[in-house]
Structure 1
């Protein structure tokens, strides 16, 4: 019995343990479920509250006026590009016109003076060729001043340009006005409209070039320095990279440094100017810092850019650059500096930038030529040129901005107009008149067509003379009925006598121009009567056959950005002084302009973009104009001249000229030293190329020749 009771008791106890286990498990499940329900309830409540809050915010924003400044800021950065400019007074078919409000700042002041006897200077905005005296029909209205005085009100018209010369305080955009200033508040710089640069510049000083450091040597005493001005924390990084604090004029500190590392800050623009003035290549430590004229100047040609986070590695990266890259970066930097460094240069660049952005051309050059009034024509016969000259186009502005060309006017001639494809003349769908020399079988006669899938064109001969009547008459007789000759222009430099009357009986088109001053610079004036792109500059004592002249013209048509001609010269250095040389075996670096073909665009550049000091030197010494033209073309194009083989004597037997003077060669040496100092380097390039007619190539097998036949 006891055994049965014990077993029964065990069964009851076991049953209770099962019940307790089930109850315990049930309680655990209930507790977990309650916790999950609580979490779910909290999430639902938060969601409902957030939804209600968002809905209430949107409801309030739809019924409550927004702060006026926020509305203006939002409208600025959501502007439509089609509404940036008002074209009411900006017809793309007419030249650009501007109006400049009165201001005492050099960037806006009108200062009328002549640098030399035939050069008109445009040192400020108000005296730019595009400037008008009234505001009525101006495309742009420009105001120059500080942030406190510039007028933001532009309700009556668009196309307002505000130039803030105060680098300490910035303007904030309120509409579509163009703002030009050194600094912009965070998020207010508009890439399509605004221009950031240091605008508080001084008037041009014609002697500044004498204090510029040369481009050479390649390497300087210090590889790189961090250039800063603010009180920034640079202790750690300056332990690895040299640092220099640049407050105002720090050119003397940077002149021995190859690369200037420029962090982005409020003083970036004038630290950039200081670096360029010292010939120190800018290295920008920022991905976002804008450059001056960021849409026009290609700053990759003159500077380097690295993220600030990579600053420690920058010196090692700079050491990898080749010597050619270093020199070209420094050379381009000097060109870009000439766009920014004084009131005249900045005024020209600013108006050119406005022209590019609104796509309305600058005033054409003929307006300047009429104002110059440097000569008069006494005789003219009609030319046979039938085609019109190519119109200027903004497509070529990149080259003009970055190569150092004059920006004041729109050129009527361009030396880099692209050539048509070789198959254009043969395509069945071509309706335009495209001439090719071999367009018909058996039509390779040199007198029939010039070929090259270019329009047929002619050349103008410009003869500079003083009183060598016999020499000019011989040239007339030699060139009578010359193929592709458009006109002969005689520049009569003798103000004490008149040209012979029998020249008036010539049958070929010609003109006599009598300048007001006897100057060798008259050779390169872009006279309005020159109707061709090709200009053959000729002394009055040279002899050249028609076949030689036509062959040289053919060579020029394939090398329009080079001086192409016959008498070659070279340069060298002796005891750190420049030496002008007559012959140098297989190399040359200059072509004398006594018998050379030059594009008319380079005549514009020589007359209106050449520094007054160079033109004055030519007048004072009556020498060196041909060397100066070679320097200019080489600087703008970075191309060597092209020599053409001369099969006959160069002299026509006239009496000896200027080169027979005792000091002639020494003056040319001095001239080259002066030009080297002005440009900061010697831009001349050596060449071994000689253009030889096809039938003559066997006579000179060792020459590296360009072989094109007559």
Structure 2
């Protein structure tokens, strides 16, 4: 298949074609290899056209230095050919394996999207290379530059160890990453102890951090007691900005972060199951309550819904795992306008975190299936804001503001749901790993 395509493309470039028979853009996007001859200047615009189309550039310019070649490994994305031996090109491309073709085409998309898709990214890439050359700056590795999400979204000030980032870590081999830090956002305290107890009974929890956001209410007395059956509990008071739940803090020493609202209804088995799933997808948000975005033609804007459908694009951080690197990006990388929107509305911080992670990874979150729906009544006994029409209007406004600042809609839909091996199946409960889920459900 690859050889036929390469011969077809080669013939198309050699033979004069009537302009009305072929659309150049369609031809480009349906080609496997694209010839890139030397241009009149130092480069050729055909090169960027090929990258954008996902077509493997065949460079026909001896001695041509490709852009940013000091950090980008172009051998993974292009084919070099001797312009003096033009007739040997078909044989060269026919000898490339199908797996290598797929890998190279994927790499063209990574490089195009991360470094060349806009003037802004080209400029920022140039600045990033210059910054790496400055004294006392942590320079980025070749892995960082040539692997998604790319150097512009991997801040070396966070860590000089690639294993500390969610994109490169191998959690199966690192036993130190077998724990998580739970961060609980609390306002009322009526159901807080139950949440702490369920989290504390997990064998994987390292510590619990309680963010107390009600300065007018006293802290629950149990937070000051020493309990040997629970992991260490740290309480942070005077939390006035809801974005503080994603604040980059030295208290969080594990890669995994479990973000919870105080009215979360997860039991210990559900927490453990979600953590095991997250370890397989450490670059994504993994959690229970899901929401969706959609395009509203009538309003010509983005809409937000909590209706139960076959797909979703947002996993609420009221009960979800994510990597602590996203706390760093949330605090240091996001536009101040985005953070100001969240602070003023005292809402939408979970949507913004989903925007951030989907923008970095270009992948959707992952929903895991729980034993029942997300709680409809808040911990204080009043109606939950999830059913408040004004609440949804506000979140739709946030959704459109975020999309405008990002310049596009990064959220992606997914149909995938992961279930703890069908906890309602007839297998003996003693043989199941997550026994308590079925007991509570029944």
The structure richer in helix per residue is 2
- Write out per-residue CA displacement over residues 483-505 of structure 1, whole angstroms, 9 at most, x where no aligned residue: 21111101223445553444110
Contact 1:280-1:330 at 8 Å conserved across structures: no
Count of residues in correspondence between the two structures: 367
State the distance in 2 between where 1:306 and 1:632 align.
Answer: 40
Look up the match of 2:150: 402
Matched, 1:512 2:238: no
Contact 1:520/1:618 (<8 A) preserved: yes
The structure-2 alpha-carbon separation of the partners of 1:500 and 1:560, relative to structure 1 and needing over 3 Å to count, comes to same
Q: Which is bigger in relative contact order (C-alpha 8 A, separation at least 6)? A: 2
1:631 counterpart residue number: 355
Matches within 5 A, 1:254-333: 288-297=63-72, 331-333=113-115
Superposed CA deviations along residues 146-171 of structure 1, whole A, max 9, x for unmatched, are: xxxxxxxxxxxxxxxxxxxxxxxxxx
Quickly say closer, same or farther: Cα 1:571–1:324, change in 2 above 3 A.
Answer: farther
Given that 1:263 and 1:285 are in contact with CA atoms closer than 8 Å, whether structure 2 keeps it comes out as: yes
1:646 paired residue number: 370
CA RMSD of aligned residues (A): 4.4
Q: Is the 8 A contact 1:348 1:407 kept in 2?
A: no
Instruction: Measure, in 2, the Cα distance between the counterparts of 1:537 and 1:548.
Output: 14
Cross-structure match for 1:414: 165
- Give the conservation status (yes or no) of the 8 Å contact 2:72–2:145: no
Aligned position for 2:208: 488
Native 8 Å contact 2:144 2:150 kept in 1? no
The alignment partner of 2:209 has SS state of strand
Q: CA–CA distance in 2 between the matches of 1:583 and 1:567? A: 11
Partner of 1:666: 393
Residues in 1 aligned to 2:394 and 2:37: alpha-carbon distance in whole angstroms: 43
Aligned partners of 1:570 and 1:584 also within 8 Å: no
Residue by residue over 1:200-244, the C-alpha shift from the partner in whole angstroms, topping out at 9 and shown as x without a partner, is: xxxxxxxxxxxxxxxxxxxxxxxxxxxxxxxxxxxxxxxx9xxxx
Task: Provide the residue aligned with 2:292 in structure 1.
Answer: 570
**CA offsets per residue over residues 295-341 of structure 1, 9 Å max, x none?**
3246799999999999xxxxxxxxxxxx9999877643566744543
How far is the alpha carbon of 1:613 from its aligned partner?
Answer: 2.1
Contact 2:182 2:199 in 1 (8 A): no
Offset from partner CA, 1:275-309 (integer Å, 9 cap, x none): 99xx9999999564445532324679999999999
The CA deviation at 1:523 is 1.3
Identify unmatched segments of 5+ residues in structure 2. 1-18, 20-28, 30-35, 87-104, 427-431, 435-442
Contact 1:302–1:328 (CA under 8 A) maintained in structure 2: no
Alignment check: 8 A CA contact 2:290 2:367 kept: yes
Report the Cα distance in structure 2 between the residues aligned to 1:638 and 1:600, rounded to whole angstroms.
18
| Cα distance, 1:663–1:550 mapped onto 2, change above 3 Å | same
CA distance in 2, matches of 1:513, 1:630: 24
**Correspondence for 1:350:** 130
User: Are the counterparts in 2 of residues 495 and 514 from structure 1 also a CA contact under 8 Å?
Assistant: yes
Match of 2:438 in 1: none
CA distance in 2, matches of 1:482, 1:558: 18
C-alpha distance in 2 between matches for 1:698 and 1:676: 42
1:603-618 equivalences under 5 Å are 603-618=327-342
Cα-to-partner distance string for 1:500-549 (whole Å, 9 max, x where unaligned) = 4441104230111236x622211111210111111001112211100110
The normalised TM-score by structure 2 is: 0.67
CA contact (8 A) 1:569 1:581 kept: yes
Corresponding position: 1:468 with 2:248: no
Contact kept, 8 Å, 2:128 with 2:152, in 1: the verdict is no
Match of 2:256 in 1: 534
Determine if contact 2:223/2:233 at 8 Å carries over to the other structure.
Answer: no
Which residue of 1 is the match for residue 95 of structure 2?
Answer: none
Give deviations 1:329-384, integer Å, cap 9, x for gaps: 76435667445436xx75444223568xxxx8729xxxxxxxxxxxxxxxxxxxxx
The 8 Å contact of residues 297 and 401 in structure 1, kept in 2 or not, is answered as no
Aligned 1:54-453 pairs, distance under 5 A: 288-297=63-72, 331-333=113-115, 337-341=119-123, 347-352=127-132, 362=138, 395-399=143-147, 402=150, 404-407=152-155, 409-411=157-159, 413-417=164-168, 419=170, 452-453=172-173
Aligned pair in 2 of structure 1 residues 304, 709: CA closer, same or farther (>3 Å)?
farther
* Cα distance in structure 2, aligned partners of 1:672 and 1:299: 37
Question: 2:37 & 2:335 partners in 1: Cα distance?
Answer: 31
- Mark the CA change 1:616 to 1:485 in structure 2 (over 3 Å): closer, same or farther: same
- Which residue of the partner structure matches residue 246 of structure 2? 524
* Contact 1:464–1:492 (CA under 8 A) maintained in structure 2: yes
Instruction: Extract unaligned runs of 5+ from structure 1.
Output: 1-239, 241-257, 311-322, 364-391, 421-451, 700-707
TM-score relative to the length of structure 1 = 0.44
- Counterpart CA distance in 2 for 1:354 and 1:336 is 25
1:683 to 410, 413, 427: 410
> Matched residues in 2 for 1:499 and 1:262: separation?
70
Residue aligned with 1:572, SS? strand
Within 1, Cα distance between the matches of 2:277 and 2:110? 29
SS at match of 1:694: coil
Q: Counterparts of 1:397 and 1:352 in 2: how far apart (Å)?
A: 12
Correspondence for 2:275 among 549, 553, 575: 553
Q: Does the aligned pair in 1 maintain the 2:201–2:268 contact within 8 Å? A: no
* Cross-structure match for 1:544: 266
Change (3 A) 1:499 1:641: same
Change in Cα spacing, 1:694 to 1:400, as seen in structure 2 (3 Å) is closer
Residue 222 of structure 2 corresponds to residue 499 of structure 1 = no
Go from structure 1 to structure 2 and tell me whether the alpha carbon gap of 1:481 and 1:641 turns closer, same or farther (over 3 Å shift): same
- Tell me: CA distance 1:671–1:281, structure 2 relative to 1, closer, same or farther (3 Å): farther
